[in-house]
Amino acid sequence: MEIVKSLSEGKVILSLNGKLSAASAGKFNAAVEEALGESPALVLDFKDVDYMASAGLRVLVAAQKKLHTSGDSLILFNVRKEVMEVFEVTGLDEVFDIR
C-alpha cells in the first residue's frame, strides 16, 4: 500500500493506493496516527483502494473514536463500490462520514 499525505484548508489528506490488508494495516495505522497529531480533521481518499480487510477497519474505528471524543472529524471519500460493500455489510457506513 502506498500512502501520500497532503494538506488542504487545514485538513490532512491521506491518499491511499493498493490493498488495505493485514499486511499493510501497520503502515496505514502509523500514517493515521501521525496525521491525527497534525490536524483536527482527517480526510482519507479511497479512490485507489480496491480491497479492505478487517485490520483496516480496526484502524478506521480507532481513529474515529479518537477524533469523535475531541469533536473532530474523519471523512472518507472516493470509496469504490467493492470497498463500500465492506462498510455496508459491517454497518460502518452508518458510523463514518463517507462522501
- The CATH number of the domain holding residue 88 is 3.30.750.24
Burial string for 71-82 (b: 16+ CB within 10 Å, else e) reads: eeebbbeebeee
Whether 97 and 73 have beta carbons less than 8 Å apart is answered as yes
Q: Mean pLDDT of all residues in the chain?
A: 94
Mean pLDDT of the region 39-66: 94
Model confidence at 9: pLDDT above 90: no
Query: What integer pLDDT is reported at residue 72 of this predicted model?
Result: 84
Q: Using CA atoms, how far apart are residues 27 and 29, in angstroms rounded to an integer?
A: 5
Look up the domain containing 86 and give its range.
2-98
**Mean pLDDT confidence for 62-89:** 92
- Total number of domains in the chain: 1
Q: Assess contact for 66 and 37: CB atoms under 8 A.
A: no
Tell whether the model's pLDDT for residue 67 goes beyond 90.
Answer: no
Q: Is the pLDDT of residue 25 over 90?
A: yes
